[in-house]
Copies of this chain bind each other. A is one copy, B any other.
């Protein structure tokens, strides 16, 4: 596992130490070489006795799977060698999420180190790409917002129920989405007891979500407005999604809409559609690998509202990575991931 000093990293370790089929061979961090992992994260005392070590591609290549929980742009430097050595890779950062290397460079501000591998990478949203993930050598673990938004819109877009130029994703995230790096903006005294939007002009998850919705709809001309907001709390994303029903579907019964959601996710362990009239709370999925949602049609009008919540560090990052690993290694998809959220 490469880069475990961030929130995604420690969450991945929390899940992996409880996983019955996993042995963690090494945990790397260039800047903390020699420090015990549980000294930095005392919650792991008694569960992991490894120190951080400097990343070494040879050593990493001995593992069945290597996770990258690193900043964007790090994984792509090591992935070619690891794949060549026969190791499979799950990248929790964004290096392999965007199909178009030009678009990627534009949003991430750097050249891609191995554009030839982008096409091979599988976008690791099991509810969308389960079969491809099983055999993938390289999985691009989805972003947190894209997970909540894509799963929320999926049934509507898949069936062509809504106008694709009417989509709005008003998304709110806890502060852990910003990572564990020294910054003024994410101090308790800045991000606490307050609320704001950010990145209205353009956020990196916009092209990722649009790409997903294009794949699902098969339509290129799609206009999504995506506004992320920062919540004064640590974990949790709530996406409030808006769309306008196409003319043909305005006569649809409310019960039909509910049924469409329930059927689409009936066999998905990690997606939970609430009964009609519900409002999911982020706390109900705290620590759990689950996307919980409800679908509404206010005043029985033309507009549909979907409420979709995840724990950004679990179903939005580390839990989804373990779900992908389970698929890749032939474990039961649920292994190590079935536990209720921590409420209250």
Residues of A within 8 A of B (CB): 7, 10, 14, 17-18, 41-47, 165, 168, 170, 172, 175-176, 180-184, 186-198, 200-202, 223, 225-227, 229, 231-236, 238, 240, 242, 269, 272, 274, 277, 279-288, 292, 296, 298-299, 301-303, 305, 307, 309, 339-344
Contact = CB atoms under 8 A, between A and B. Distances in A.
Given A225-B242, A231-B231, A240-B227, A17 B281 contact: no
Given A188-B190, A225-B305, 19 more contacts: A41-B343, A42-B274, A42-B284, A42-B292, A43-B342, A46-B269, A168-B303, A175-B187, A180-B184, A186-B188, A188-B191, A188-B232, A188-B234, A192-B192, A225-B303, A229-B238, A234-B344, A242-B242, A342-B342
Contact of A342 (B17, B287, B305): B287
A149 to B, nearest CB: 14
Nearest to A313: B344
A298 B189 contact: no
A14 B340 contact: yes
Contacts of A286: 43, 193-194, 342
B190 A344 contact: yes
A284 to B, nearest CB: 4
Contact of A272 (B46, B201, B301, B343): B46
A156 to B, nearest CB: 15
A195 B176 contact: no
A68 B147 CA distance: 40
A43 B343 contact: yes
A193 B193 contact: yes
A342 B128 CA distance: 29
B234 A47 contact: no
A178 to B, nearest CB: 8
A342 B46 contact: no
Contacts of A183: 182, 187
Contacts of A43: 283-286, 288, 340-343
Contacts of A196: 238, 279-282, 307, 309
Nearest to A172: B195
